[in-house]
Amino acid sequence: MAGESSARQFAESGADLALVNVTKRFPGFTAIDDLSLTIPAGSFFALLGPSGCGKTTTLRLVAGLEEPTEGRIMIGGKDLTDTKAYQRPVNTVFQSYALFPHMSVLDNVMFGLRRRKIADAAEKAKEALDLVELGHVSTRKPAQLSGGQQQRVALARALVNRPALLLLDEPLGALDLKLRRQMQLEIKDIQSEVGLTFLHVTHDQEEAMTMADTVAVMNQGKIEQMGPPEELYESPKTAFVATFLGQSNLFGGEVTSSTKDVISVAVAGKELRVPVDRAVAHRGKVTVGVRPEKVSLHQAEPTTDSNRCVIGPGRVLDASFTGVSTQYLVDVPGFGDVTVFAQNTSHGEHAVEGDEVFLSWSVEHAFGLADVPPAEDRFLNDTSTGAMAVQEREKIEQELEGA
Amino acid sequence: MAFGAFGGAAPAADQQQVAQRKSPIALWLLLPGLLYLILFFVTPLFSLVITSFQEPVPGGFLGEYQNAFNPSNYVDVVSTYLPHIMRSFVYASLATVFALLLGYPVAYVIGVKLRPYPLVQSLALVILIAPFFISFLLRTIAWKQIFADEGVVVGLLKSMQIIPADAYLTGTPFSVVFGLTYMFLPFMALPIYTTLEKLDLRYVEAGSDLYESPFTVFRTVTFPLSLPGVVSGTLLTFIPATGDYINASRDFLGSTDTAMMGNVIEANFLVLQNFPAAAALSLILMMSILVLVSVYVKRSGTDDLL
């Protein structure tokens, strides 16, 4: 009953969450494979990954809605692996909101308070509704609210309990872009205001980077890389992170020489240099990566500069104007198709389709990876039987839940 | 409804106009059903009302009645058959309660617990409906055999000395209520199953996520959300059970002490040939069920859930 008594309390501050060697197997496939993770108290942590990577299962394990096959789940230093969902000091904002359709908005928000016999539950519920600016709809039924309002009610219903740990399961997925941006900022504000620990699960990399202090990129039941958003973006450690979080140009090659500052990689007869501290592997076959916005486009071959890598000439296959920038797709023999984002800051030279161009980037912007890039198209991977099984499984689960 | 307010109004008006233009066809399609109802439902109802006010032909034979306005028929049947009227409602209420207590768990298991196993789920549904493949008269006679004095149930209970040696089951209120419960159990379970089968389990998860124990989640979330099924199930049980005359009949599970309104109406129509009394009783039965059901539906407040 220790769990229950702690659930009855309002959390004064967020609790840290630790997953220790957690594995979750469903019949026929492993959703989570030996996952260890620590989320410090009071942080906003995002679990980012494609559908079927195990992130929602992780969340359900923490909430107590699934039991891990192996491993322990600790919240605030206490082992809660065998504690039932309703006894855990955790609340979830569900992807589908799951607002009780037969209750008013206020009753929905009061639901968690009443059980714990919190004094003036109605008062607290009203405050929570005011926090999400929905005090005026408290007597309505959830079906009478818009999607965005329902989402905010779901947030208030979880927040009002002041859980030590708040879980957000893609709660913004059903909202349109503008509302999503607005809600992202609101949730972020609320988190810094109340100081609780937030664990946010999403497949939207922009959302994860905007909101979270720490982002963990998850793929096939494992965490690929974890860190602050800038770090993940600027120096990805695996090809999956490099391509899932934003876009990357990746070139496979062999290390030919290395100094204490840079390694040189031979790709299609050119030397590409990568700073040593931005390279995961320093010998053998490696992958060199550079972000499209770090690449510059030149109409004529630029003068050699020891701080820049130059490739080309290549032919512009496609130039598309997107407003703030122009996206170019350049075919460079030996390097494949290279994407370039050029800021629309000057009225000067603009390449058009068919132009012959050179590409260059600053050495310090390159990063080195140990693994080869995943097959050309990310979606090709999904036709593997494993991924299909996962997708099929998810579909069936959703059907079962939705039925 | 809320979404209908946005932009949906104009097309709806258009559709209405279209529907009005096409209305002659709709009327023609409705005609057979309407004629059927008028011929076989409204006409007999009027005939029943007229019969209920008739009086015996002075000096006529048994079963000879003439049209009159004789409301005392109603007073007579109520004073004569009040115990039967009360018994009908008590038995039907008991059967409804028992059918709900038995049917809800069955519906819950089939509709919720068996969801991951569609094949087992379908099989369980077939088993639930299977008794319908046998005539209910046969089934009721079968129960009479099972509960017979020399039958296995009474024998076993006697040998275990749970009931005294001179006890019996057939012809008791127990066997009548048992028979009613048995007969209407599928009518209770199926509508409940239909609502539970559609229940979004994420509400249940949300309930336990908000600290409620499984029992409280059931009481505050699952049961209220299945209320439409419970209401239709109880109506489908209570209404026919009140008018039932098979189970309570002496030929089946009942005795003269357990006669319900259906038995009395049957006896008045077919044996005593007191047609006005039978008609008056039928109308009383109909009106009281109508009143009870309207109050029940209103009270259960399921209008917005249905």
Interface of B with A (CB under 8 A): 1-2, 115-116, 197-198, 200-203, 205-214, 216-217, 220-221, 224-225, 304-305
* One-letter-per-residue 3-state SS of chain B: CCHHHCCCHHHHHHHHHHHHHCHHHHHHHHHHHHHHHHHHHHHHHHHHHHHHCCEECCCCCCCCEECCCCCHHHHHHHHHHHHHHHHHHHHHHHHHHHHHHHHHHHHHHHHHHCCCCHHHHHHHHHHHHHHHHCCHHHHHHHHHHHCCCCCHHHHHHHHCCCCCCCCCCCCCHHHHHHHHHHHHHHHHHHHHHHHHHCCCHHHHHHHHHCCCCHHHHHHHHHHHHCHHHHHHHHHHHHHHHHHCCCCCCCCCCCCHHHCCHHHHHHHHHHHCCCHHHHHHHHHHHHHHHHHHHHHHHHHHCCCCCC
The burial of B2, by beta-carbon neighbours within 10 Å (0-12 exposed, 13-18 middle, 19 or more buried), is given as exposed
Angstrom distances, CA of residue A354 to CA of A71, A154, A330, A331, B249: 57, 52, 9, 10, 96
In which residue are the tokens 């007191």 written? B274
Pairing of strands A70-75, A78-79: antiparallel
Helix A147-159 vs helix A177-194: crossing angle, to nearest 10: 10
Chain B CB contacts of A112 under 8 Å are: 210-211
Per the CB < 8 Å rule, is A102 touching B305? yes
Q: Decide which of B1 and A305 is more confident.
A: A305
Alpha carbon distance A160, A106 (integer Å)? 11
Alpha carbon distance A40, A45 (integer Å)? 9
Per the CB < 8 Å rule, is B211 touching A101? no
Per the CB < 8 Å rule, is A85 touching B203? no
Per the CB < 8 Å rule, is A115 touching B116? no
Highest mean pLDDT among B12-26, B144-158, B208-222: B208-222
pLDDT by residue, tens only, chain A of 403 residues: 334 444 445 666 678 899 999 999 988 888 888 889 899 888 999 999 888 888 889 999 999 999 999 999 999 888 999 988 888 989 999 988 899 999 999 999 999 888 777 788 888 899 889 888 888 999 999 999 988 889 889 988 998 888 889 999 988 877 778 878 888 888 888 888 878 899 999 988 888 888 899 999 998 888 899 999 999 999 999 999 998 888 899 998 889 988 888 899 988 888 899 999 998 888 888 899 999 999 988 888 888 778 888 998 899 999 888 888 889 999 998 888 999 998 887 655 678 888 899 999 999 999 999 887 655 444 444 445 555 566 667 777 776 666 5
Alpha carbon distance A364, A247 (integer Å)? 18
Name residues whose C-beta falls within 8 Å of residue A311's C-beta, 6 or more positions apart in sequence.
Answer: A270, A272, A332, A335, A338, A358, A359, A360
DSSP state of A238: S
| Residue B240 pLDDT | 94
Q: Decide which of A109 and B8 is more confident.
A: A109
How crowded is residue B148: how many other Cβ atoms within 10 Å of its Cβ?
Answer: 15
Output the CA torsion sign for B278, B284, B287, B292. negative
Chain A CB contacts of B202 under 8 Å are: 94, 96, 98, 401
Name residues whose C-beta falls within 8 Å of residue B237's C-beta, 6 or more positions apart in sequence.
Answer: B92, B95, B96, B99, B100, B184, B187, B188
In which residue are the tokens 């026929």 written? A28
Cβ pair A246, A336 in contact under 8 A: no
Output the CA torsion sign for B265, B267, B273, B274. negative
ipTM, interface predicted TM-score of the complex? 0.74
Cβ pair A256, A285 in contact under 8 A: no
Give the residue from chain A lying closest to B216, CA to CA. A115
Angstrom distances, CA of residue A47 to CA of A191, A193, A211, A224, A227: 16, 22, 11, 11, 11
Cβ pair A152, A183 in contact under 8 A: yes
Output the CA torsion sign for B104, B110, B111, B113. positive
Alpha carbon distance A170, A60 (integer Å)? 12
Alpha carbon distance B125, B194 (integer Å)? 11
The burial of B273, by beta-carbon neighbours within 10 Å (0-12 exposed, 13-18 middle, 19 or more buried), is given as middle
Count Cα atoms within 13 angstroms, Cβ side, for A66. Answer: 21
Q: Which strands form A214-219's sheet, in the order they lie side by side?
A: A90-93, A165-169, A197-202, A44-48, A214-219, A222-227
| Residue B96 pLDDT | 97
Chain A CB contacts of B304 under 8 Å are: 141
Q: How high is the mean pLDDT of chain B? A: 87
The pair of three-digit structure tokens given for residue A168, joined into one six-digit string = 């957000």
For residue range A383-395, list pLDDT tens digits in order: 455 555 666 677 7
Three-state DSSP state, A26: strand
| Paired strand residues for A166 | A91, A198
For residue range B202-222, list pLDDT tens digits in order: 999 999 999 889 999 999 999
For residue range B256-295, list pLDDT tens digits in order: 888 999 999 999 999 999 999 999 999 999 999 999 988 8
Residue A76 φ/ψ region, left for φ over 0, alpha for ψ in the -120 to 50 degree band, beta for the rest: left
| Residue B127 pLDDT | 93
* One-letter-per-residue 3-state SS of A243-280: HHCCCCEEEEEEEEEECCCEEEEEECCEEEEEEHHHEC
| Paired strand residues for A266 | A254, A271
DSSP state of A373: P
Chain A CB contacts of B224 under 8 Å are: 102
Q: Is the pLDDT of residue B20 over 80?
A: no
Three-state DSSP state, A332: strand
Per the CB < 8 Å rule, is A161 touching B210? yes
| Paired strand residues for A279 | A368
Cβ pair A79, A73 in contact under 8 A: yes
Pairing of strands B65-66, B55-56: antiparallel
Residue A13 φ/ψ region, left for φ over 0, alpha for ψ in the -120 to 50 degree band, beta for the rest: beta
The pair of three-digit structure tokens given for residue B283, joined into one six-digit string = 């109308």
Alpha carbon distance A324, A181 (integer Å)? 19
For residue range B98-107, list pLDDT tens digits in order: 999 999 999 9
Q: φ, ψ for residue B129 (rounded to 5)?
A: -90, -20
Name residues whose C-beta falls within 8 Å of residue B123's C-beta, 6 or more positions apart in sequence.
Answer: none
Q: φ, ψ for residue B254 (rounded to 5)?
A: -105, -170
Q: How far apart are the first and last CA of chain A?
A: 34
Taking the C-alpha atoms of B70, B73, B75 and B79 in order, what is their torsion angle to the nearest 10 degrees? 160
Name residues whose C-beta falls within 8 Å of residue A316's C-beta, 6 or more positions apart in sequence.
Answer: A328, A329, A330, A351, A352, A353, A354, A355, A356, A357
| Paired strand residues for A274 | A263
Q: How far apart are the first and last CA of chain B?
A: 14
Across the interface, which of B116, B202, B209 has its CB nearest the CB of A85? Answer: B209
| Residue A391 pLDDT | 66
Q: Is the pLDDT of residue B72 over 50?
A: yes
Per the CB < 8 Å rule, is A91 touching B209? yes
How many residue pairs from chains A and B have C-beta atoms closer than 8 A? Answer: 78
Name residues whose C-beta falls within 8 Å of residue A280's C-beta, 6 or more positions apart in sequence.
Answer: A237, A238, A286, A368, A369, A370
Per the CB < 8 Å rule, is B210 touching A157? yes
Q: Which of A107-111, B3-7, B47-51, B270-274 has the lowest mean pLDDT?
A: B3-7
Q: Find the helix or strand (DSSP H, E) in which A30 lies.
A: strand A29-39
Put simply, whether the predicted model's pTM sits higher than 0.80 gets the answer no
| Residue B154 pLDDT | 87
Amino acid letter, A355: D
Three-state DSSP state, A15: coil
CA angle A48, A222, A367 (to 5 degrees): 70
Three-state DSSP state, A149: helix
Polymer length of chain B? 306
Three-state DSSP state, A146: coil
Q: Distance, in angstroms, between A81 CA and closest chain B CA? A: 15
For residue range B154-207, list pLDDT tens digits in order: 888 888 888 887 888 888 999 999 999 999 999 999 999 999 999 999 999 999
